[in-house]
Structure formats: structure tokens, C-alpha cells
Structure 1
Amino acid sequence: MSLQQQLDDFMAGVREKVPTDILSSVDAAYGELAADGRFPQALGVGDTLPAFTLNDAQGQPQSSQTLLARGPLVVSFYRGAWCPFCNIELRALQQVLPEIHALGAELVAISPELPDYSLPLIEREQLSFPVLSDLGNEVAAQCGIAFELEGELRRISLEVFGVDLPSFNGDASWRLPVPATFVVGRDGRVVLAFVDGEMRHRAEPTAILAALRELAAAQAA
């Protein structure tokens, strides 16, 4: 089953439980976010991944330069452990991790959450790749994918779903990364870029693996 089908199936279950007026507001807000072109500075194919050093859930620094020295890198930005769509995506990435490694690549997932919230996520989903904390969304901003959760979305997140971003992220802002996935060659150049303001759309693992295969074939040629 594709990742998108898994996300769609989960959303169908949500629609059976959440009031229609709430879902209509969420649909409209994320539809606007996806359509208004507010991410023109997002990394694209051919751009260079900004260098970063971020702590993992155990407090150990992970450097993009060190990771790229080993091979290609898959970078997945997710919103937080509180987001069920992100959890589905991370599980799907874990399932293809052996194939990612077989292609000589590494995978990291990045969110603005404090490490204290990442650890339970790693244990619950049995993740065996680094989960990094981008406090203040600094790297996400450098990648052109940070935005402020505002208006009705902020109210619904807090009052309906109990998501208090300042508590999860350790700062007063309501900033998030738009869900995004980048496949990066050893030279730091992006060869696949997935950026979508609609939170229920994520990069397919099959597309990630296809991009890594192309890199491996080019290196072997």
C-alpha cells in the first residue's frame, strides 16, 4: 500500500469522528496554504542543502557534512510527534530504511520539537534512524519551508486537538516546517525535492528510492 493511501485511510477515519465544521475549516486552511505559493524559497532540485549540525534525541550532535561524507542523504522534515500523519510517514520511512542503506544512503528526520518529545516517538515507532531537533526552525527556515501557524488553524490545533506548539517546541512561536523531503547527493546538491503545504501529502518512499537508485547508477557509470 502506498504511503498516500495509508494517509488517506487514516483521514477517512478522522472524518468519521471530527465534526464537519471543524474539518471544513482545516481543509480550507491547508488548501490555502498549499495553493498560495508561500514557499517560493524552498529548496529545489539543483539547490545546495544548507549545512547543519543538530542534536539527536540523545543529545548527540549530527552534522550534515559528516553524513554526506558517508553517501547520499535523505532529509525528512516533519511537524512533530503529536502529528499522526507524520507518524505514518516515519513508519513508512523506517520500513524502507534497509533499502536506503543498501543504496549507500543515510536518512534523518527533523522537527522543531524538544528532544524529550522525540524519545517516546523513537521508542513507540521503533525508529532506527536519527531524529533531530531543529529548535527555532532555524534549518527549516534556511531551507525555505518554515511558516507560522495562524488564525483558525492555531485555534483548532490548541482548542480542538490540544496541540500547544510552544510547549512542544520550547519557544513562544507557532512556527512549523511544511512537510518536506529532500534527497541530497554527496556533493550536497538536491536531486529530489518534495514540498507540499497540504499536511496530508508526503513524499512516497518509492520516489525516494528511485532518486537514490539514479544517484547510485550515475556514480557507477
Structure 2
Amino acid sequence: MRLFFKSLLGIFCFWCSTPVSAQAPNNAEDISPLLIGETIPSATLQDSDGNLTQLKRLIKKKPTILVFYRGGWCPYCNMQLSGLVDIENDILDLGYQIVAISPDDYKNLKSTKSNDSINYTLLSDPNAKFIQQVGIGFKTPTMLKGFIAAKRQKGDTSEVMPVPTVMVLDKEGKILFEYINPNYKERIGGEMLLAVLKTIKN
């Protein structure tokens, strides 16, 4: 099990050991994420109705697949979110829940849930504050802002974007596994994620 886990980390995880900086870096390759074994900070996020949600209280209920995505405007993110819908029952059977977070304005969450037939929890991280605390945020490129504006999303475009990330957390918020890739086109597949969950469970 330990060898399998190390192999997964070596192939799939992008991480570094420098501390999280207060200033978001300019490039996705320069992020400083929290590491496996560390605990995520407390965060107050918004649900699709704009209500405040305490993340720690939510993950206290069940071990959690925590997904950070760029926004409902991103086709690669929508593919990932839809892929999680396909394996959600398997994830639930293994005792986990799915929580997906983006810097999207909360007013966009309902359309994302509808478009991707999502039943699991979507949350908004206003101003990407939590994303920066986790250490996966970088400054939104000017060209990307133009692309998002063309999609006519509600609310302001976040000044910080997350590198797409999947974390597996225990009920205390401790990181058991993470997949972080600066290439936003590359996401962990459903079969691999289920293999990771089964390995952790065993």
C-alpha cells in the first residue's frame, strides 16, 4: 500500500515544500500548496443561494473529496465535474462526499449544477481567499479575464485562479492525498481517483 501510494504521488502530484505566500504568484507553476499530512485551514464559503457555509463543519460529517476548479466557464472543469457525477455513487459507497470549490460568484453555481447534472456540493470562495490559503492560487492572466468576460458570467471575475486540484481529506481536514497539476487540461481520471480511495480505505 505504501509503495502504491508513493508511486501515485510521484506520477500525479505537483507539490513543493516552500510555505504559502501572502501574495499570489503570477504563474501556475509557482504555487506553494499545502502538503499531504497538513490540515486545511478554516474557511467560510458561500453556497448557491449565497448562504455562508463553514467548510470544517461540512467535512466533519464525512471524509471528503475536495475539488478546486476554475469556474463554470471552463470546459475542462465541466468535464471533470461531470466525470465526478458518473462515479459519485461509487464514492458515496466508499464513505466519502464530494465538495467542489471555485472562485466563481455564487450566482453562477446553480447554472453549473444544472448544466453538469450535479447533486454534490458546490461552493463559492469569494476573492479566492481560501484558495490562496491552501496555496494553489495564482494571478488570473489578462487573456483569461477576457475569455471569462465573453462567457458573460455573473459577478466580478476573480483576481486569483486556482490550479485545478483534488484533495482527499479525513474528517479533521487532514490531507491524505492530492493531485495538483499546473496544466489545467490534465485532470485525475475517475478510475484512478477510485483506486486512491480504495487504497486509503484499506
- Which of 69, 79, 101 aligns to 1:88? It is 79
Q: Give CA-to-partner distance per residue, 1:125-178, whole Å, 9 cap, x none.
A: 11001110001001100110111123xxx23651xxx4229x747447532111
CA contact (8 A) 2:68 2:164 kept: yes
**Could you say which residue in structure 1 is the equivalent of 2:94?**
103
Superposition CA RMSD, Å: 2.3
1:127 aligns with 2:112: no
Aligned with residue 155 of structure 1, among 119, 124, 143: 143
For the residues of structure 2 that align with 1:186 and 1:146, how far apart are their CA atoms? 24
**Corresponding residue for 2:184?**
199
TM-score, normalised to structure 2, is 0.78
In the alignment, which residue of structure 1 is the partner of 2:18? none
Deviations 1:43-84 (A, max 9, x none): 221111122231211234333322332221111111111100
Deviation at 1:100, TM superposition (A): 1.1
Instruction: Kindly provide the CA deviation profile for residues 167-218 of structure 1, in whole angstroms up to 9, marking residues without a partner as x.
Output: 747447532111111011123211111111111011222232223223322x
**Aligned partners of 1:33 and 1:198 also within 8 Å:** no
Alignment correspondent of 1:214: 199
Q: Is the 8 A contact 2:127 2:159 kept in 1?
A: no
Question: Kindly tell me: are residues 57 and 173 of structure 1, through their superposed partners in 2, closer, same or farther at Cα, counting changes over 3 Å?
Answer: closer
| Matches of 1:203 and 1:186, distance apart in 2 | 22
Instruction: Assess if the C-alpha contact under 8 Å between 2:105 and 2:156 holds in 1.
Output: no
Structure 1: gaps (5+ residues): 1-31
Structure 2 distance, partners of 1:183, 1:199, is 19
The verdict on how the C-alpha distance between 1:108 and 1:95 changes in structure 2, with shifts beyond 3 A counting, is same
| Structure ranking higher in helix proportion | 1
Q: Give the secondary-structure state (helix, strand or coil) at the position aligned to 1:203.
A: coil
| Cα pair 1:181 1:195 within 8 Å, conserved | yes
- State the structure with more CA Rg: 1
**In 2, Cα distance between the equivalents of 1:163 and 1:56?**
21
**2:134 aligns to what?**
143
Distance 2:158 2:83 in 1: 29
**1:179 aligned residue:** 164
Q: Which runs of 5+ in 2 are unaligned?
A: 1-25
Going from structure 1 to structure 2, the CA distance change for 1:173 and 1:116 (only over 3 Å counts) comes to closer
Q: Return the alpha-carbon distance in structure 2 between the equivalents of residues 61 and 215 of structure 1.
A: 31
Q: Judging changes above 3 Å, is the alpha-carbon distance between structure 1 residues 43 and 109 closer, same or farther for their aligned structure 2 residues?
A: same
CA distances 1:62-109 after superposition (whole Å, capped 9, x unpaired): 333223322211111111111000000000011111111111111111
Letter in 1 for 2:193: I
Decide whether aligned partners of structure 1 residues 193 and 169 sit closer, same or farther in structure 2, where only a CA change above 3 A counts. farther
